[in-house]
Amino acid sequence: MEILNDLKISKLLAIFAHPDDAEAACGGTLAKYSALGVEVNLLIVALGDKGRGELSDREFELNQSAKILGISNVDSLGYKDGEFDNDLTLRKKLTEKIRLFKPGIVICPDPTAVFFSHSYINHRDHRQTGWAVLDVVSSAVSNEKYFSTSVAHEVSHLLCAGTLEPNCVVDVTETIDKKIQAVLSYKSQISGDPEKFSNSLMGTSAGIGRQVGISHAEAFRYSSLSNSDSQI
Ligand SMILES: [Zn+2]
């Protein structure tokens, strides 16, 4: 596995299913790019209405977390949890948002990851979101013949988080503390001891880091979307 060099881009867009997905999946990477001066944006597909607590709590927590990570804009497509598919409507909405934000990097869930060990089956919303993003960044977004009401844009790099087949890591040693703070800001979503949860997150990033000789890392499946600009 390789350590991904800092990608030379000015804008990043993370697209995830629910309000608290991005922080745990790639919060260290989002904080790192924000600290590098990149405009970091977050698009959430669903409201998180079927999670714990009240929607108003999640909205407050999301804004707290975005401040901690240095996220410039948080946007939502407003679907209800479990009530969207990777269909033409979703692909059109995603295409228009990506063209609006004009990111050099898109980060999304890896939709091919289904069974995590014997204890977790990846949520359908995560997989639907991941497939829809893959479908549009690989074709529609950069081709003006698709959804011609908005101007085409070329995304250079795709990072899939929550993957079972990582091919690179991002060094998040400098921003792991921000990631933990951001994840813990979702108080309504944490049922157990926050300290145990934070230790478990720390342990995961330290374990990934050990594989490449650094303190803390997040793992991704990287794809170059412009062949001339591949980073691994
Ligand atoms: Zn989720």
Q: Is residue 2 part of a domain?
A: no
CA of 151 to the centre of ligand 1 (A): 30
* Measured distance CA(29)–CA(219) in Å, rounded: 10
Asked if the structure places residue 209 within a domain, the reply is yes
Q: Residue 181: which domain range?
A: 10-229
Which CATH number is 24's domain given?
3.40.50.10320
**How far apart are the CA of 122 and the centre of ligand 1, in A?**
9
Structure token pair of residue 8: 């030379």
Question: Tell me: the pLDDT tens digits for 191-213?
Answer: 788 889 899 999 999 999 999 99
Domains of the chain: total: 1
| 39 is a domain residue | yes
| Within a domain: 4 | no
179 found inside a domain = yes
Q: Would residue 3 count as lying in a domain?
A: no
In a domain, 5, yes or no: no
Q: List, as ranges, residues with CB under 5 A of the ion ligand 1.
A: 17-18, 21
Residues 211 and 215: their CA atoms lie apart, in Å, by 10
Instruction: Tell me the per-residue pLDDT of 3-25, one tens digit each, with 9 for 90 and over.
Output: 999 999 999 999 999 999 999 99
Among the residues of the chain, which ranges form H helices?
A: 21-35, 55-69, 88-101, 124-135, 176-184, 194-210
The pLDDT tens digits of the residues spanning 117-137 come to: 888 999 999 999 999 999 999
pLDDT in tens, 52-108: 888 888 889 999 999 999 999 999 999 999 999 999 999 999 999 999 999 999 999
Q: Ligand 1 center to residue 48 CA distance, Å?
A: 8
**What distance in angstroms lies between residue 47's CA and the mean position of ligand 1's atoms?**
10
pTM for the full predicted model: 0.96
1 occurs within a structural domain:
no
Spacing, Cα 127 to ligand 1 middle (Å): 10
